[in-house]
Amino acid sequence: ETGVTQSPTHLIKTRGQQVTLRCSSQSGHNTVSWYQQALGQGPQFIFQYYREEENGRGNFPPRFSGLQFPNYSSELNVNALELDDSALYLCASSSDPGDTQYFGPGTRLTVL
């Protein structure tokens, strides 16, 4: 059974650019949640996808968008990057919404 994987590991972008982060869910999991973790803080919920549909969204602007594919892998897209978007972006998968979430190692995004 493979765990949650994320790519890339690190990414450097400049302000105003767009970025796509990818996540492969754990085998057997149909739900993917995305979190933003700023340095020294707890993860903040961005949104969740369940069976390819958005299943809830946190307090993030529309320039944060996502997608889930039929194999339950997922993408997080961020447009018009701002300096404050610099953070560790975490993907977590679960067997159902609200069930135990298993996190990937994260993608460290730096916006210059």
Partner 1 sequence: QQQVKQSPQSLIVQKGGISIINCAYENTAFDYFPWYQQFPGKGPALLIAIRPDVSEKKEGRFTISFNKSAKQFSLHIMDSQPGDSATYFCAASRNYGQNFVFGPGTRLSVLP
Q: Return residues touching partner 1 (CB under 8 A).
A: 4, 33, 35, 40-45, 47-48, 50, 55-58, 90, 92, 96-98, 100-106
Instruction: State the minimum distance, in angstroms, from the CB of residue 20 to partner 1.
Output: 19
Which residues lie across from 23 on neighbouring strands? 6, 74
CA 60, distance to chain mean position in Å, is: 12
Closest CA to 23 of 43, 3, 38, 41: 3
CA 23, distance to chain mean position in Å, is: 7
Instruction: State the minimum distance, in angstroms, from the CB of residue 40 to partner 1.
Output: 8
Instruction: State the minimum distance, in angstroms, from the CB of residue 14 to partner 1.
Output: 23
Nearer to partner 1, 92 or 111 (CB): 92
